[in-house]
């Protein structure tokens, strides 16, 4: 028998500590971020003052140990933070997601003590990080990348181009993947820590996107970029393993982002249904609207439980890859559906930029695409079902 569900932990309510943590972030999002969401979406720029406040609140170093200046929290708390921020602005959520569940965790898991001592305090205090894997011909086939790292004494010379790199416009630290031994295929892929001011390294074009517009997505250009060998993260040729493990974790947080987005859309729909009147009563008194809201709420709660379950499995040191795939797959699906239904509940005004649900609908689309498309998640789940993993 294939043990697909053996590792599942029955979700339990949030602890008092986690509930306070989440409510604090939600209050910050509503009070400080919400007033600027529309303008940031229109300008496609995340405000520097809000980014600074996220650092001050500890949101950029949740799992970084206290001795390095971080909060010493859990992976589950990182997911809670992403979910809470996404109810107001999924762009803010993905900035925190990449920083915590991807970049910080790479350094915590694979970095040397020298690398940790030098960079973790910066990541907790003021340095945004970025994860640079994708290329023009390397998306779902992540390890067909063509960026090359050529050994040169105590250095590597890296040449290539990366695309669709989140946080690139703001980042000071990049975890970049290049092949140091192309003849060995994916076993030559290596992770390098590159600082923004490194000669030969440049942040290029910023993409003009449909959604999560305040979250920067840029190309990176490396032209004979000289990186010290001491900046190799993990071991030479182990980059593929680092990338896989990191993306497996990051998918849980993307599930959290999509769940938070859906919750935000549901909240707007409920609020509007309570006040909008037609035919002498609020539209929330009509059974058709009630049924729609009930289905939306059920989908959101189901996604939340999948995400929380995967995050708790991770923190418990149990297998979580299949559960992470399920969480991301389902949460990204319901985010798009719930946001669409929220627009329908609001009717004509929901289709305008005067109300936030149209933005949430645009933001939801990326959930089926980044950090592993929906089809890739289905492959992961199916292989477990068929006993091929």
Q: Can you read off the two tokens belonging to residue 24? A: 């604090």
Q: Which of 122, 104, 164 is nearest to 140 (CA)?
A: 164
Q: How far is CA 238 from the centre of its chain?
A: 23
Contact criterion met (CB below 8 Å) for 104 and 123:
yes
Task: Point out the catalytic residue in the list 83, 358, 371, 384.
Answer: 371
CA angle 95, 77, 259 (to 5 degrees): 65
DSSP string covering 285-330: GSHHHHHHHHHHHHHHHHHHHHHHHHHHHHHTT---HHHHHHHHHH
DSSP string covering 85-123: HHTT-HHHHHHHHIIIIIIIHHHHHH--HHHHHHHHHHH
Q: Can you read off the two tokens belonging to residue 180? A: 């140091």
Contact criterion met (CB below 8 Å) for 123 and 356:
no
Whether 371 is catalytic: yes
Q: Is 176 helix (H, G, I), strand (E, B) or coil?
A: strand
How far apart are the C-alpha atoms of 207 and 199, rounded to whole Å? 23
Q: Can you read off the two tokens belonging to residue 247? A: 């993306």
End-to-end CA distance of the chain: 13
Find the helix packing angle between 90-97 and 75-86, rounded to 10°.
160
How far apart are the C-alpha atoms of 243 and 144, rounded to whole Å? 13
Handedness of CA 232, 134, 165, 300 (dihedral sign): negative
How far apart are the C-alpha atoms of 216 and 224, rounded to whole Å? 25
DSSP string covering 318-330: ---HHHHHHHHHH
Rg of the Cα atoms in the chain? 21
- Cβ–Cβ contacts within 10 Å for residue 30, how many? 13
**Catalytic residue ranges:** 371
């Amino acid at each position: 028998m294939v043990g697909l569900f053996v590792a599942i932990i029955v979700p339990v309510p949030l602890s008092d500590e986690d509930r306070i943590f989440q409510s604090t972030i939600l209050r910050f999002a509503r009070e400080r971020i919400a007033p600027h969401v529309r303008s940031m979406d229109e300008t496609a720029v995340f405000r520097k003052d809000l980014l600074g406040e996220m650092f001050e609140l500890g949101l950029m170093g949740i799992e970084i140990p206290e001795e390095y200046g971080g909060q010493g929290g859990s992976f589950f708390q990182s997911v809670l933070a992403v979910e809470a921020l996404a109810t107001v602005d999924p762009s803010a959520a993905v900035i925190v997601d990449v920083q915590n569940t991807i970049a910080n965790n790479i350094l915590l898991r694979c970095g040397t003590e020298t690398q940790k001592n030098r960079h973790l305090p910066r990541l907790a205090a003021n340095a945004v990080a970025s994860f640079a894997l994708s290329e023009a011909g390397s998306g779902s086939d992540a390890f067909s990348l063509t960026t090359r790292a050529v050994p040169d004494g105590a250095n590597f010379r890296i040449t290539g181009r990366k695309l669709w790199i989140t946080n690139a416009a703001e980042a000071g630290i990049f975890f970049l993947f290049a092949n140091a031994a192309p003849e060995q295929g994916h076993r030559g892929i290596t992770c390098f820590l590159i600082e923004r001011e490194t000669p030969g390294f440049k942040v290029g074009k910023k993409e003009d996107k449909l959604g999560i517009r305040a979250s920067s997505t840029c190309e990176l250009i490396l032209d004979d970029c000289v990186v010290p060998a001491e900046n190799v993260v993990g071991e030479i040729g182990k980059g593929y393993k680092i990338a896989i493990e990191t993306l497996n974790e990051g998918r849980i947080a993307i599930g959290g982002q999509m769940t938070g987005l859906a919750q935000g859309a549901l909240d707007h729909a409920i609020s509007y249904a309570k006040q909008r009147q037609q035919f002498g009563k609020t539209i929330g008194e009509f059974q058709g609207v009630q049924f729609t809201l009930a289905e939306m709420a059920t989908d959101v709660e189901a996604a939340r439980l999948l995400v929380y379950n995967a995050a708790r499995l991770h923190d418990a040191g149990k297998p979580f890859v299949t559960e992470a795939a399920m969480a991301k797959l389902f949460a990204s699906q319901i985010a798009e559906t719930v946001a669409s239904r929220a627009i329908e509940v609001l009717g004509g005004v929901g289709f305008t930029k005067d109300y936030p649900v149209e933005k949430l609908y645009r933001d939801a689309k990326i959930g089926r695409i980044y950090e592993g498309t929906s089809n890739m998640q289905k492959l992961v789940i199916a292989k477990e079902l068929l006993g091929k993993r």
